[in-house]
Every structure is written in C-alpha cells, then in structure tokens.
Amino acid sequence: KELKKLAREGYWAASRALRAQVYHQLIQQVACRLVTPDALVYRDVTNRLFGKLSVSSHPLPEFLEGCSMPTYCLNLEGVTALKKILICVGNLFPDITYSPILPSLVALLLHYSEDEAQCFENISRLIASNAPHTSYIDQSFLAHQASCMTFGDLANKHCPAAHKLIASTSENVFEVYSEWLSWLFHDLPFNYAIRVFDVYLLEGQKVLYRIALALLKQYRLSVTSAELEGTDIKADLQAFMQNIAEHVTVDKLLERAFGIRLFSRKEIWLLQMANRKALMERGITMVQSSNGSPPSPRQSFHLAVDMQNFSSSIVTAQEMRIIWSWIPERFSLFPPLLLFSTSEDGCSLQRFYACCEGYEPTVLLIKTTEGEVCGAFLSSDWSERKKNGATSGFFGTGECFVFTVKPETERYEWVFIKKPELAKAVPRSRQRSPSPSPASLLSSSPDSCSTSSNHLTVPTPQRKGRLSPFLAIRHFLLPSKTASMFMSGSREGIIIGGGGGQALSLDANLLWGHTEHCETFDNPPLCQENFKVQLLEVWGFQ
C-alpha cells in the first residue's frame, strides 16, 4: 500500500537513480516462469547474433510488423540498444506473435537500466510473468484484440458521454478504442508516459485501463459534438494525447484515474476471457492483413447497419447504431438477426417465447401507439424462465439494461455499475446465490397470495461452464436483493427490471404495457406509464 501511494504521487520522479533502483527491485519480484532468460543469456545471444555485424543488418521480429517504434528521447546508441533487445526478445520468445506495446516499454525501461543486458532481463520477466489474473504484456493478436474489446466495454460503462459522442461521430467505434494502448505508450509525452509506467509496474494492466478512461473523460470535456462533425476522431484523440499538458497535469490525471471505481482485477480478467472466447468463435485469432495494419475484429456493425439489408419497423439504422454501441463488445461482433416481430408473428406471448428461445442475448424494441420507442438489452436466454418450475423467477445478469430511443436516447444500466460501492465482492468461500424474494410482483394486488404460482424469485447462479463476465450476480454480496431483478417471464406476461416497481412489463397478448421506476436500473418511466404496443421486435445475434 505504501509503495502504491508513493508511485501514484510520483515520489521517485525526482531522482533518476532512485527510479532505476525501484524499477529493478520491483521487476525482480514479479512472479514469472521458471526458465526466464536473464542478462547472461542476453550477452551470449547478442554475441552469437551480431558478432561484429551492425544491428541494421538484422530485421526486427515479425511480431512488430506494422507497429510504430517510439524512442522517447533515446540517443543513437539507445535506439541501437532498443533494436538489439527487441531482436533478442524475438529470438528467445518465439511464442510472441503480436505485441505493439513492447517497443515503448523497452524504450522507457532503457532510460532506467544499468545497461541493455539488465533492461533485457527485466523486460523478459514482464513477458514471462505468470501472476494470477494479471498480465503485463499482451503477446498475441487475439490477446491484444481482447484487451481492446475490454477497454471498449469499460469505456461504455464508465465514460457514457464520451462513448455516445464517439458512437455518433465514428463509423467504427471499435477501431477508435483499439488505439487505447497507443494513447498511453506512444502518444503521451515522456514525462506523462513514465509516470504511467511507475504505477503499471506495481499494479499491472488494470491501471492502464483506469488511466485511458481518465484520458477519455478529459477528452470529452475538451470537445463538443459540433466541433467533431466531419473530423477523423482517431487523429483528433491522438493529437489530444500528444498535447495533454495543455489540458491536465500528470498528477491530476492520475488522481482522476484512481478515482474511477472499477471492478476487481479478477472480474476484469473474466471479461477479457469472455471477449477472447468470442473472438475465437468468430475465427479472429491472428493478423490477417498483409499491409501491416491489423484488421478490426468488429467488421463494423455500424457499416452493416448502413446497408440496405438492415430493416426495422421501429428504429432507423442510425438509431440501431447507437443501441449497438451500448452492447458488450463480444456480442456486437455478430450481425443482428430479427427473431420476432408482432407485425409478422402476431401478438402472442407463446410465439414470442418460441421464436426467442435458444438465442442469448437479445434486444427487445417497443414502439407505443403514441410513437414513443423504448426497449431492453437482455443477457440471458428466455428458456431460463423454465428452470424455476412452478414459480416464475427473475434471471439474467448485470449486463442487462433498459433504454429509450424516442423522444430521447438514453440508457439505464444495473444500479451497481454507477454505484459499485454498494456491492462488495464475494469472498470465494461465501459465493452463493441470493435467497428467494418474497415479492409477488405479477399478482394484481400487492398483498395477494405469496404462495401463488406467480411467486417470483431472485436469480440463481448461471449454468456451469459459461464464462461469467464481470457483472455476474454471484460475484457480489448485494445489500438489497430487489436491486438485481433483471428479467422474468411466465404465461401471464414478461417483466424487465424489478424492485419497488417494474421498468417494463407486458401482458400475455403483448398489447398493453406498464413502465415505472425500479431499483434494479434506477430508471424513470421509459415512456407513458400505461401504454399500448403498436409494434414489438426482438433482435438476436447471428
């Protein structure tokens, strides 16, 4: 704790010798694989590889193809050492296939190393780190893309204003977020980047997410959507990072970064694993382009929406584009598929279930007879409702959210995203599902028969084997069970969002609905409180 405090406050920024000593000692304590090459190995390999030849006669490793090479004020000798170290890393770590962040880390570390052999030994330890639920350096295209998707998910949650701005001005949101590591270790000036490096060595990759989120929030404060009309937002962000000193001091930036309440390192790691799994399912595991620029895995749904073949009777392509930008990255890799619509399939709840079962997640869209449009992103398969037997229980995860499109575009997420301090992470020995709730939300009168078949229960843990991302209920001790009622279905109708009210409820004929504030999403009514459905659609993921 003391070391973290010193790093965050920039204690060893005043002395180069002190920082060099701290870096070496910190890295020597990183848990890593048993056989990790050290300074002696480096000297042997460089003698064998280079002998009397100059470094320029050796090509850089393939994993750096298309990656930029920041030198951070290194002189000519330093740049030569940087290239030698990278060539040796390529030689001794043949498993590295893609690692755009590596040149920057080596360049920064070289400034604070006794010699290039010590720098090589230390970077090798970071590459070979095997500490649980943490990583320092992504070493494959798959891992890098999963990190970019994870950053996209976190930006979506923690920087909603910036995210909305980027989604409305950029053709491809993912492409913008895939630059996030370059903001930190390429675009930021040296005196900012080295302070980021201080905390990164102590706290691992999670700290990089924090700082990039703080930069994104700062960017949002400095621009207006009118200014961004027609500009290249990627280039604009890059210029902002390069000129960061005009906007915020490094101390203030770090202070803001550590003020962001992220979930635990383990939860973020779980999300990263889920993103990785989705990329593998899509067959996106390596750099596929020959021109050196890595392709984006999100072969932009935003572009797909603009094509003629996207057709909804409720939302325009531009509106769907905004909704799609709110969806977790691992799902929005997949194109949308219309599963059910009242205009095609009729107003039948049984038909609704039959068409939607087997799909997870889904997006529900409702247009009222007054022309208002609202809906919900539902993370779980509707067939989960059958698991509670006679009782109709709540199920779903904290990735569910409700939203409005017309007259205003707004999203309302699980209350614990905005207020993570309300939930404490569950110690491993105490992980359990919340006990059933006595509320009988579907029955017409508040105090009628709690033993009826309408009795509702709170979510139970999800089926084994599924990667549970960072918002699965079982990871939290929730002070109020009513704040995690996501979705429920029975023969009488469906409910989305519970606790003190229902965010959305629809009757068995999918004709009449009701909306009000609920504890789960802390939302206002999504449209007129009692409404008549004009059209209802459910979209799945192909």
d(CA 302, CA 387): 36
Q: How far does Cα 185 stand from its chain's mean position?
A: 19
Q: Over range 55-76, report the average pLDDT.
A: 86
What CA–CA distance (Å, rounded) separates 516 from 276?
37
DSSP string covering 265-334, please?
A: HHHHHHHHHHHHHHHHHTT--S---TTSPPPPSS--HHHHHHSTT---SSS-HHHHHHHHHHS-HHHHTS
- Name the residue ranges covered by the structural domains of the chain: 1-281, 317-417+471-541
- Output 250 or 288, whichever has higher pLDDT: 250
What is the arithmetic mean of pLDDT over 269-278?
86
What DSSP state is assigned to residue 184? I
Chain centroid offset of residue 157 CA: 8
Q: Where are the alpha helices (DSSP H) in 93-140?
A: 102-110, 116-127
pTM: 0.79
Whole-number Cα distances in Å, 406 to 315, 325, 343, 365, 524: 9, 17, 20, 11, 14
DSSP three-state, residue 401: strand
The interaxial angle of helices 250-258 and 190-203, nearest 10 deg, is: 30
pLDDT one-digit tens code per residue, 315-332: 987 788 788 888 888 887
Residue 374 has pLDDT above 70, yes or no: yes
Asked if pLDDT for residue 464 goes beyond 70, the answer is: no
Distance CA 319, CA 306 (A): 11
CA nearest to 458, candidates 521, 518, 394, 397: 394
Please provide the distance, in angstroms rounded to a whole number, between the alpha carbons at the two ends of the chain.
47
Q: Return the CATH fold of 1-281.
A: Cyclin A; domain 1 (1.10.472)
Higher pLDDT, 283 or 441: 283
Residue, of 280 and 125, whose pLDDT is higher: 125
In angstroms, the CA 467 to CA 423 distance is 21
Q: Taking 80 as the threshold, does the pLDDT of residue 443 lie above it?
A: no
d(C-alpha 484, C-alpha 486), whole Å: 6
pLDDT of residue 289: 45
Tell me the longest C-alpha to C-alpha distance in the chain: 89
From CA 392, how far away is CA 452, in angstroms rounded?
10
Query: DSSP secondary-structure letter at 378?
Result: E
Burial classification of residue 57, based on how many CB atoms lie within 10 Å of its CB (0-12 exposed, 13-18 middle, 19 or more buried): exposed
- What pLDDT band is residue 65 in, cutting at 50, 70 and 90? confident
DSSP reduced 3-state for 499: coil
The CA-based dihedral angle spanning residues 495, 501, 507, 511, taken in that order and rounded to the nearest 10 degrees: -110
Classify residue 307 as exposed, middle or buried by CB count within 10 Å of its CB (0-12, 13-18, 19+): exposed
Distances (CA, A) of 178 to 139, 156, 281, 494, 496: 15, 14, 20, 38, 33
Higher pLDDT, 80 or 231: 80
- CB of 471 within 8 A of CB of 519? no
Residue 350 pLDDT > 70, yes or no?
yes
With H, G, I as helix, E, B as strand and everything else as coil, classify residue 166. Answer: helix
Instruction: Determine which of 25-34, 99-108, 246-255, 283-292 has the lowest per-residue pLDDT on average.
Output: 283-292
Looking at the chain, the whole-number percentage of residues with pLDDT higher than 90 is 53
Least confidently predicted of 53-57, 85-89, 357-361, 378-382: 53-57
Contact 498, 439 (CB under 8 A): yes
pLDDT at 386: 85
pLDDT digits (tens, 9 = 90+) for 183-199: 999 999 999 999 999 99
Give the residue among 501, 376, 484 at the shortest CA–CA distance from 437: 484
